[in-house]
Amino acid sequence: MRALRLPAWKTEPELVEVDEPTPGPGQVVVRIGAAGACHSDLHLMHDFEAGGLPWNPPFTLGHENAGWVHRLGSGVTGLEVGQPVAVYGPWGCGRCARCRVGVDNYCENPAAAPVPGGGGGLGLDGGMAEYELVPDARHVLPLPEGLDPVDAAPLTDAGLTPYHAIRRSWPKLPPGSTALVIGVGGLGHVGVQVLKATTAARVVAVDTREEALRLAEECGADVTMQSAEGTAEEIRRVTGGRGADVVLDFVGADATLKLGVAAARTVGDLSIVGLGGGSLSVGFFSVPYEVSIQTTYWGSRPELLEVLDLGARGLVRPKTTTFSLDEAMSAYRMMQDGTLEGRAVIVP
């Protein structure tokens, strides 16, 4: 079969022929219907070096995957060949307290995981191929009726990651509250949809690009602003001087973190979701009182079930452009130069 593989750090992926995987006991082979291209894949290609992560190339890219059950290993129950499914991306040890409740993204025994802190497309072979081997059937989730694999694939990360970040702040998003979305790209535009589908908050979206702000409006943002000098003051003006109860930074650069702090309301949340490499100085007087600052990583398996339900009901639907496996590198180049709107989905 053909697969898009990263041969080494700081190299371009290669489309090569590899053997079709065979499932062992408890494992599942999924015939890939769609694999999302994620901005974090660009970090794998260009930024990381040996020793920077607990795993190394070579491996097949693609950690946002959906398709159909192709083959079942011995002992697998609850799945049928041909059944449409999504693949939960973080693959933990399966035995620690976090993994037992489906929070493999925060596995506390990574040494016993298939690959520490990673999964398919992140250290092990992912879904930018005709087939993907999933090492444990618990990571294979049946798709709800009405949800196609092409629409489901980006929900496994681009949907799940903002959903997890927003869900943890639900208590701070009642009627009368404001949520600020910084960066309306591949994750941020889905974050706007999740906020509108699951909370009563007014949504303010900020970006440097006019086309991103148009996308935010399409996704339901109540207020959009182009980032500039005085943006924090404008956010406070539209919130009656209070600021945003929840700030979701989908960029994570120095400038966006500074904006998030300046626009946050006391006793609010600032969640850093983007991998922009910025840092934040935290001291008694450097942030509003009782503002909680946290990073988040992906989401849990039970949360993915909730996201798939929202997708099947049409409440959360990432804006996507599809590419063939031969065109996958074109998708990554568009992501890198900022010309891709929404998410890229590779359809083998």
Give the tens place of pLDDT for each residue, 203-257. 999 999 999 999 999 999 999 999 999 999 999 999 999 999 999 999 999 999 9
Looking only at the bridges linking them, the beta strands covering 59-60 and 2-6 are antiparallel
* Token pair for 15: 């489309």
Between CA 199 and CA 175 the distance in angstroms is 8
* Contact assessment for residue 287 and residue 293, using Cβ atoms and an 8 Å cutoff: yes
Bridge partner residues of 323 (DSSP): 346
Which domains does the chain show, CATH number per domain? 2-157+299-346 (3.90.180.10), 160-295 (3.40.50.720)
Burial class (CB in 10 A: 0-12, 13-18, 19+), 18: middle
Between CA 138 and CA 96 the distance in angstroms is 15
Between CA 133 and CA 135 the distance in angstroms is 6
Q: What is the pTM of this model?
A: 0.96
Q: What is the pLDDT along the chain (348 residues), one digit of tens a residue?
A: 999 999 999 999 999 999 999 999 999 999 999 999 998 999 999 988 888 889 999 999 999 999 999 999 999 999 999 999 999 999 999 999 999 999 999 999 999 999 998 999 999 999 999 999 999 999 999 999 999 999 999 999 999 999 999 999 999 999 999 999 999 999 999 999 999 999 999 999 999 999 999 999 999 999 999 999 999 999 999 999 999 999 999 999 999 999 999 999 999 999 999 988 999 999 999 999 999 999 999 999 999 999 999 999 999 999 999 999 999 999 999 999 988 988 999 999
Please report the sign of the dihedral spanned by the C-alpha atoms of residue 73, residue 74, residue 76, residue 82. positive
